[in-house]
Amino acid sequence: MSTLLRKFFQHFSIGQCPPLAIRLLATCCLLAQGFTPAATAQITIQNTVFPVVGDTLHFAFGNQPGAIFQIFTPPGGGQQWDLSNLQPTQFWKQTMRNPQTGAHSSSFPGASIWHYPLSSNNEVYWEVTGNQVKNMGYFGLDELGLGLNLLFRNYPSLEESWAPVNFFDLRQSAANVLTAFDAPIAPPVLLNLAPTADSFRIRVTYQRISAVDAYGTLSIPDGSFEVLRRKQTEYKSMAVDVKVAPLGWIDISTIGGQQVLPLGTDTTTTFHFLNDVSKEAIAICTLNTAQNQVTGVRYKVVPPPVGTEDALMAKEHFSLYPNPARQAVTLRWELLDAADARIVVSDATGRPLHTLLDEALSAGPQLTRHALPPLPPGLYFVQILANGVLQHTAKLSVF
């Protein structure tokens, strides 16, 4: 998008931008750049690609040096993007399940499907209508690394996709989460800040802006697809409040000017390359904050892999402590079979930063202690791989 359009979005908060005004201003900005929507035909994506119960979607994760120059092109049609040199580092099988089979379906009335996120036991519930796929929220581990399993409900539900999708579509979506829990289950990192607390609550705000700004042909390993490119920017803000009588709720996101948890606002920019037949996104590219580098790519596996999703780890026996941590962590986990095991620390985008373990291990319970590299305070991921296949991801807060 142009600088003028970015300034327009910055000037108006989500929900204040009239859609017609956005579309008119975007048109002016693109014309001012000398771009006119091409007269040649481009695909339209219908709701036939929406997920339904029983769907199994196959993805791989990887990166390709120089990918930013392949995908970060100006708006327009008839483009060619080449990500055929992607090298997979992980695989993911995403299965869409009947909401009635979810342990927490009663908390999400009206849900159409639910699924597990990548290497997680969280239950994510979506509502699928004739023209939208909406994220209702999830039940599972909190995103602050406190180790609490709680209900996180989006109000209203956050739009994941819509139909029909056409070149030059512009969308906005926003949601709020407010999850409270009693002080007796709070971890020490919170109780130390407010010893007389009655309860705590986590506040999350999502704001998304999406623009379908280009179309063309995208090549990935073993396939080439006609696609629309959707650029999405998400602003995610997290805060923590404490309830103390008689004062009521107090924001404790910072104490004495020092941030004590991975809170604040994160901005994530992604390019979604969408096809009118495939239920999987052909590729989703995540950019760094400066938007001058691709930090990771999730892409469709063609054809679906054989044997790459085999479970080699008993996830129910996993634990990581202390969390939050500063210098070292201990992992308790179990291998179901002998395997070449790796434990990797990744940043919030999934980019590997440091390898904690890389060796062949026998089947059975594992207890490993690892020194952490110097890391800025924030939220990270600890990933366990067996024979090159991702088995489990755990969130780790570093303070």
Q: Same domain, yes or no, for 292 and 366?
A: no
- Inside any domain, residue 53: yes
Q: Same domain, yes or no, for 287 and 187?
A: yes
Q: Same domain, yes or no, for 246 and 132?
A: yes
- The residue-averaged pLDDT of 316-328 equals 89
Q: What is the pLDDT of residue 41?
A: 56
Tens-digit pLDDT profile for residues 181-190: 999 999 888 8
State yes or no: pLDDT of 9 exceeds 90: no
Tens-digit pLDDT profile for residues 189-211: 888 888 889 999 999 999 999 99
- Inside any domain, residue 228: yes
State yes or no: pLDDT of 42 exceeds 80: yes
State yes or no: pLDDT of 98 exceeds 90: yes
Confidence at 78, pLDDT banded by 50, 70, 90? very high
Q: Same domain, yes or no, for 10 and 98?
A: no
State yes or no: pLDDT of 13 exceeds 70: no
- The residue-averaged pLDDT of 143-164 equals 94
Q: How many CA atoms lie within 13 A of 180 on its CB side?
A: 9
Tens-digit pLDDT profile for residues 123-149: 999 999 999 999 999 999 998 888 899
- Inside any domain, residue 361: yes
Higher pLDDT: 159 or 34? It is 159
Fill in the DSSP letter of residue 325.
B
Fill in the DSSP letter of residue 34.
T
Burial class (CB in 10 A: 0-12, 13-18, 19+), 397: buried
- Inside any domain, residue 199: yes
Q: Which of 300, 325, 358 is the last residue of a domain?
A: 300
| Mean pLDDT over the full length of the chain | 85
- CA dihedral in degrees (106, 109, 112, 116; nearest 10)? -40
Confidence at 45, pLDDT banded by 50, 70, 90? very high
CB atoms within 10 A of CB 318: 18
User: What is the maximum alpha-carbon separation in the chain?
Assistant: 66
State the total domains in the chain. Answer: 3
Q: What is the pLDDT of residue 385?
A: 84
Tell me, what CATH number does 373's domain have? 2.60.40.2550
Reference 118, options 176, 52, 57, 67; nearest CA is 57
Percent of the chain surpassing pLDDT 70: 85
- Inside any domain, residue 23: yes
Q: Same domain, yes or no, for 45 and 194?
A: yes
State yes or no: pLDDT of 277 exceeds 80: yes
Q: Same domain, yes or no, for 10 and 65?
A: no
What is the per-residue DSSP string for 152-207? EEEEEEEEEEESSB-TT-EEEEEEEEEEEEEGGGS-HHHHTT-TT-SEEEEEEEEE
State yes or no: pLDDT of 72 exceeds 70: yes
- CA dihedral in degrees (3, 33, 45, 123; nearest 10)? -10
| CA–CA separation, 54 and 136 (whole Å) | 19
Confidence at 74, pLDDT banded by 50, 70, 90? very high
Reference 172, options 182, 191, 159, 156; nearest CA is 159
State yes or no: pLDDT of 89 exceeds 90: no
- The residue-averaged pLDDT of 8-23 equals 43
To the question of pTM greater than 0.75 for the whole model, the response is no
Reference 334, options 363, 368, 370; nearest CA is 363
Q: What is the pLDDT of residue 90?
A: 83
Domain ranges, residue 6 = 1-36
| CA–CA separation, 331 and 87 (whole Å) | 29
- Inside any domain, residue 296: yes
CB atoms within 10 A of CB 270: 19
**End-to-end CA distance of the chain, in Å?**
36
**265 has which bridge partners?**
237
- The residue-averaged pLDDT of 111-115 equals 96
- The residue-averaged pLDDT of 258-262 equals 64
Q: Same domain, yes or no, for 110 and 248?
A: yes
Q: Same domain, yes or no, for 177 and 323?
A: no
Q: What is the pLDDT of residue 352?
A: 76
- Inside any domain, residue 194: yes
- The residue-averaged pLDDT of 32-51 equals 70
Give me the amino acid identity at 165.
V
Q: Same domain, yes or no, for 52 and 8?
A: no
- The residue-averaged pLDDT of 55-83 equals 90
Q: Same domain, yes or no, for 327 and 364?
A: yes
Distances (CA, A) of 283 to 63, 152, 211, 300: 11, 28, 16, 6
Q: Same domain, yes or no, for 334 and 390?
A: yes
CB atoms within 10 A of CB 311: 12
- Inside any domain, residue 347: yes
Q: Same domain, yes or no, for 271 and 393?
A: no
